[in-house]
C-alpha cells in the first residue's frame, strides 16, 4: 500500500482503517507492537517505527503500511500521565491510539485475524508474550530492542531489522535505524509533489513537512530523555541515545514554529513531572501501570516498576497506616499476584530521594510454595550482586516476602528480572 507523507495524526487514522479492513476482509497486515508493560518507551518506539517505516520506501519494493499497536487495553492509557502530557506535542489524542481493544476478542482472534495474513515487528522486547504470543509468535519478522537477546528471533529477518543491543531507550535504536531514510524524505519530494512547485507553494509545503517532523521528533525525544534522565544517567546513557537526541533536536529546530521556543530541559521536566505524579492512581493501578510477566519453568513471574518509593505505596493502601508497617503492602501484593496466577511477584522502585539522590528498592514475594525455592535461590545468587540491604522480612508457611534497599542502582528491571527468571529456571519442577 502506498503511504503518503502526512502528519502523525493522519497516519494513525489511516493505520486504524487499514487494521479494520484487514480484520473484516482477511487482508494482509503488518503490526508493530511493544512489550506488555507499555511504558512510554514501548509506546513511542512502536508508533515512531511504524510511522517512519510506512512513509519511507525501502531500497527495493514499495512502502508497506505498518500499524502501531499498543500492548494494553484502551482504559489503561489513563494510567500513563506522562503519555497524556506528551500527546499534545505530537498533535495526537488518545482516540488516535490503536490498542488491544481494536483487535478481535482473543477467544477467536486467530479465526478473524488469520496468522498467515499477519507480520509482526517487536520493539522494546524480543519475544512476543501472552495470548498473542501463543498465536502469532512464528509470524514475527523483525525486532528492535535493548533487552537481553532471548534467541527466539531468526538471524535473517529479511526486509525488517534484527537489532538487539544495549541502549538507554529502545526509541533511540529506532531513530538511528530510520534516520537516513527519514532525512532523505525530509529533503526530497513531498507526497503532494510540491517539490516541483515554485515560490510560496514550495515554502508552505516545506514548513508543513518540518512541522510534522518536529511533532514526531518530540514524541521520540521524550522517551529517550526520560529513560536516560536527560542524558545525565551514566549507567543507562549510551552513544545510541546521544546520537538520537542530537538528530531529534535538529529536526525540532528546523521547524520555526516549534524550534524557536523549544528547550530540552524544560521539556524533560514537564514529562518527568507528569510521570512521577501517581496521586490520581490507586495502588492496583500503580502496579498495573508498568507491569510485565513471564512464564518460566512452569511458573509465572510478574514484575511492577514504580517511580515512587515503597513508603508511597504503603500510604496508597491505607492513608492512615504507618509508613514502616509492611503488612498492608504484603496483603495487597498477594491479592494482586493471586489475581494473575503468579508464583513470584516483584515490585521494583526507582525514584529521586530527597537526601540521597537517585535510589532503588526491591520487594520480592513468593506467592505460594512453588515460588519459595526460586525466591530463596534469587537471594542467595543475586543478593550480593544487587547489594540488597534488608528492610522488611516476613516468612511463613503461606508466603515469603522481603523488601530491600538496592545498593546497585545501575541494575534496573532489565537486569533484575532475568536474575529472577534464572532462579526460577534453576529449580526442579
- Burial pattern 55-76, b for ≥16 Cβ within 10 A else e, equals bbbeeeeebbbbbbbbbbeeeb
Grid cell at residue 140: 514475527
- Residue 128 clears pLDDT 90, i.e. is over it: yes
Does the domain spanning 283-426 belong to CATH 3.40.50.150? no
- Residue 185 clears pLDDT 90, i.e. is over it: no
The CA-based diameter of the chain, rounded to the nearest angstrom, is 80
Residue pLDDT, tens place only, 78-98? 999 999 999 999 999 999 999
| Helix (H) and strand (E) counts in the chain | 15, 11
Are the beta carbons of 54 and 3 closer than 8 angstroms?
Answer: yes
189 pLDDT band, cuts 50/70/90, is very low
391 strand-pairing partners = none
Say which CATH class 8-265 falls into.
Answer: alpha beta
Which has the minimum average pLDDT: 54-58, 191-195, 218-222, 327-331? 191-195
**What pLDDT shows up at residue 399?**
83
**What pLDDT shows up at residue 322?**
54
- Computed over every residue of the chain, the mean pLDDT equals 91
The backbone region for 388, taken as left when phi is positive above 0, alpha when psi lies in -120 to 50, beta otherwise, is beta
176 pLDDT band, cuts 50/70/90, is very high
- Residue 161 clears pLDDT 90, i.e. is over it: yes
Which has the minimum average pLDDT: 308-317, 321-330, 411-420? 321-330
For the CA atoms of 131, 133, 139, 142, the dihedral, rounded to the nearest 10 degrees, stands at 140
Specify the DSSP element, H or E, that contains 336. Answer: helix 327-339
Distance between CA atoms of residues 385 and 410, nearest Å? 11
Among all chains, which residue has been given the C-alpha cell 511533532?
Answer: 215
**What pLDDT shows up at residue 427?**
81
Reference 112, options 133, 135, 140; nearest CA is 135
Grid cell at residue 246: 542530537
- Residue 164 clears pLDDT 70, i.e. is over it: yes
The CA-based angle 275-276-278, given to 5 degrees, is 95
- Residue 428 clears pLDDT 90, i.e. is over it: no
For the CA atoms of 225, 230, 232, 233, the dihedral, rounded to the nearest 10 degrees, stands at -30
- Residue 237 clears pLDDT 70, i.e. is over it: yes
Which SS3 state, helix, strand or coil, does residue 235 take?
Answer: coil
Residue extent(s) of CATH 3.90.1640.10 domains in the chain: 8-265
What is the number of other CB atoms lying within 10 angstroms of the CB of residue 297?
16
Residue extent(s) of CATH 3.10.310.20 domains in the chain: 283-426
> pTM of the entire structure?
0.88
Amino acid at each position: 500500500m502506498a503511504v503518503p507523507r502526512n502528519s502523525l495524526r493522519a497516519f494513525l487514522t489511516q493505520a486504524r482503517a487499514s487494521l479494520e479492513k484487514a480484520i473484516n476482509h482477511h487482508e494482509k497486515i503488518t503490526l508493530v507492537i511493544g512489550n506488555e508493560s507499555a511504558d512510554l518507551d514501548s509506546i513511542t518506539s512502536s508508533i515512531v517505527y511504524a510511522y517512519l517505516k510506512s512513509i519511507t520506501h525501502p531500497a527495493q519494493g514499495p512502502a508497506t503500511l505498518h500499524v502501531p499497536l499498543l500492548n494494553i487495553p484502551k482504559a489503561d492509557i489513563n494510567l500513563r500521565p506522562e503519555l497524556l502530557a506528551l500527546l499534545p506535542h505530537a498533535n495526537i489524542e488518545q482516540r488516535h491510539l490503536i490498542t488491544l481493544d481494536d483487535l478481535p476478542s482473543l477467544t477467536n482472534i486467530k479465526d478473524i485475524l488469520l496468522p498467515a495474513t499477519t507480520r509482526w515487528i517487536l520493539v522494546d522486547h524480543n519475544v512476543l508474550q501472552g495470548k498473542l504470543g501463543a498465536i502469532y509468535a512464528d509470524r514475527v519478522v523483525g525486532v528492535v530492542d535493548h533487552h537481553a537477546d532471548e534467541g527466539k528471533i531468526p538471524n535473517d529477518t529479511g526486509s525488517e531489522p534484527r537489532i538487539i543491543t544495549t541502549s538507554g531507550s529502545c526509541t533511540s535504536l529506532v531513530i538511528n535505524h530510520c534516520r537516513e531514510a527519514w532525512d532523505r524524505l525530509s529533503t526530497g519530494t513531498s507526497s503532494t509533489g510540491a517539490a516541483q512547485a515554485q515560490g510560496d507553494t514550495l515554502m508552505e509545503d516545506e514548513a508543513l513537512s518540518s512541522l510534522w517532523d518536529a511533532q514526531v521528533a518530540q514524541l521520540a525525544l521524550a522517551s529517550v530523555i526520560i529513560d536516560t534522565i536527560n542524558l545525565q544517567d551514566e549507567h543507562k546513557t549510551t552513544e545510541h541515545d546521544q546520537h538520537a537526541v542530537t538528530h531529534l533536536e535538529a529536526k525540532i529546530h528546523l521547524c520555526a514554529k516549534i524550534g524557536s521556543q523549544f528547550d530540552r530541559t524544560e521539556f524533560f521536566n514537564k514529562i518527568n513531572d507528569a510521570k512521577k505524579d501517581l496521586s490520581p492512581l490507586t495502588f492496583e493501578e500503580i502496579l498495573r501501570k508498568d507491569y510485565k510477566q513471564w512464564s518460566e519453568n512452569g511458573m509465572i513471574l510478574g514484575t511492577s516498576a514504580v517511580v515512587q518509593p515503597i513508603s508511597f505505596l504503603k500510604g496508597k493502601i491505607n492513608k492512615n497506616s504507618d509508613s514502616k508497617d509492611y503488612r498492608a503492602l504484603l496483603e495487597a501484593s498477594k491479592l494482586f499476584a493471586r489475581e494473575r496466577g503468579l508464583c513470584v511477584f516483584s515490585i521494583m522502585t526507582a525514584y529521586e530521594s530527597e537526601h540521597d539522590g537517585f535510589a532503588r528498592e526491591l520487594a520480592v514475594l513468593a506467592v505460594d510454595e512453588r515460588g519459595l525455592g526460586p525466591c530463596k535461590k534469587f537471594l542467595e545468587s543475586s543478593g550480593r550482586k544487587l547489594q540488597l540491604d534488608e528492610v522488611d522480612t516476613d516468612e511463613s508457611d503461606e508466603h515469603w516476602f522481603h523488601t530491600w534497599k538496592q545498593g546497585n542502582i545501575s541494575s534496573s528491571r532489565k537486569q533484575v528480572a532475568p536474575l529472577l527468571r534464572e532462579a526460577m529456571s534453576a529449580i526442579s519442577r
